Structure 1
Amino acid sequence: MQRTAMRISPQGDFGVVVEDFDATSHDDIRAVKRAVYRDRIAVLKGIELDPHQFVALASRFGDPVRYYEPIYAHPEVPDVFVSSNVDTGEQRVGVPKTGKFWHSDYQFMPRAFDLTFIHPQVVPAHNRGTYFIDLAAAYRILSPELRQSIADTMATHSVHRYFKIRPSDVYRPISELLAEIERKTPPVTAPTVHTHPHTGEPVVYISEGFTTNITAADGTDRPDLLRELLTATGQLDDTMTHPAIRLQTFERGDLLIWDNRTMVHRALHTATAEPSVSHRVTVYDDADGRA
Structure 2
Amino acid sequence: MRIDTRSEGGRGIEVHDFDPAAVTADDLATLRRHVYHDKIVVLKAQTLDVAQFVALGAAFGEPVAYYEPMYHHPDSEYVFVSSNISRDTGRVGVPKTGAFWHSDYQFMPRPFAITCFYPRKLPTVSRGTYFIDMAQAYRRLGPRLRAAIENTYCLHSARRYVKIRPEDVFRPLGQIIAEVERRTPPQRWPTVLRHPVTGEDLLYISEAFTYAIEDAAGAALPEALLTDLLAASGQLDTGYEHENIFLRSYEPGDLVLWDNRTLIHRALHNPGNEATESYRVTVLDEFPLTSEEAA
* Shorter-chain TM-score tier: over 0.9
Q: Hey, what does 2:104 align to over in structure 1?
A: 105
Q: Hey, what does 2:283 align to over in structure 1?
A: 283
In structure 2, the CA distance between the partners of 1:224 and 1:287, relative to structure 1 (3 Å rule), is closer
Q: Is structure 2 residue 220 aligned with structure 1 residue 220?
A: yes
Q: In structure 2, the residue corresponding to 1:116 is in which secondary structure?
A: strand
Q: TM-score, normalised by structure 1?
A: 0.95
- Measure the CA separation in 2 of the matches of 1:108 and 1:39: 25
Q: Hey, what does 2:5 align to over in structure 1?
A: 9
Q: Hey, what does 2:176 align to over in structure 1?
A: 177
Q: Hey, what does 2:258 align to over in structure 1?
A: 258
- Measure the CA separation in 2 of the matches of 1:10 and 1:134: 16
Q: Write out aligned runs for 1:7-156 (5 A).
A: 7-11=3-7, 12-23=9-20, 24-156=23-155
- Measure the CA separation in 1 of the matches of 2:93 and 2:284: 22
Aligned residues of 2:126 and 2:270 also touching (Cα < 8 A): yes
- Measure the CA separation in 1 of the matches of 2:37 and 2:240: 24
Structure 1 residue runs of 5 or longer lacking an equivalent are none
Q: Hey, what does 2:232 align to over in structure 1?
A: 232
Aligned residues of 1:206 and 1:230 also touching (Cα < 8 A): yes
Aligned residues of 1:230 and 1:236 also touching (Cα < 8 A): yes
Q: Write out aligned runs for 1:236-251 (5 A).
A: 236-251=236-251
- Measure the CA separation in 2 of the matches of 1:75 and 1:191: 37
Aligned residues: 284
- Measure the CA separation in 2 of the matches of 1:278 and 1:157: 26
Cα deviations by residue, 1:21-45 (Å, 9 ceiling, x for unpaired):
2322212211111111111101110
Cα deviations by residue, 1:214-272 (Å, 9 ceiling, x for unpaired):
11235133211100000000000000000100000001110000000000000000011
Shift of 1:20: 1.5
In structure 2, the CA distance between the partners of 1:148 and 1:287, relative to structure 1 (3 Å rule), is closer
- Measure the CA separation in 2 of the matches of 1:271 and 1:118: 21
- Measure the CA separation in 1 of the matches of 2:185 and 2:33: 33
- Measure the CA separation in 2 of the matches of 1:8 and 1:27: 17
Aligned residues of 1:21 and 1:28 also touching (Cα < 8 A): no
Q: Hey, what does 2:190 align to over in structure 1?
A: 191
- Measure the CA separation in 2 of the matches of 1:106 and 1:287: 16
Aligned residues of 2:196 and 2:287 also touching (Cα < 8 A): no
Shift of 1:287: 6.7
Q: Which residue identity does 1:238 align to in structure 2?
A: T
Cα deviations by residue, 1:183-225 (Å, 9 ceiling, x for unpaired):
1001111110011122111111000000001112351332111
Give the superposed CA RMSD: 1.3
Shift of 1:176: 1.4
Aligned residues of 1:72 and 1:82 also touching (Cα < 8 A): yes
Structure 2 residue runs of 5 or longer lacking an equivalent are 289-295
- Measure the CA separation in 1 of the matches of 2:130 and 2:4: 22
Identity %: 52
- Measure the CA separation in 1 of the matches of 2:110 and 2:173: 27
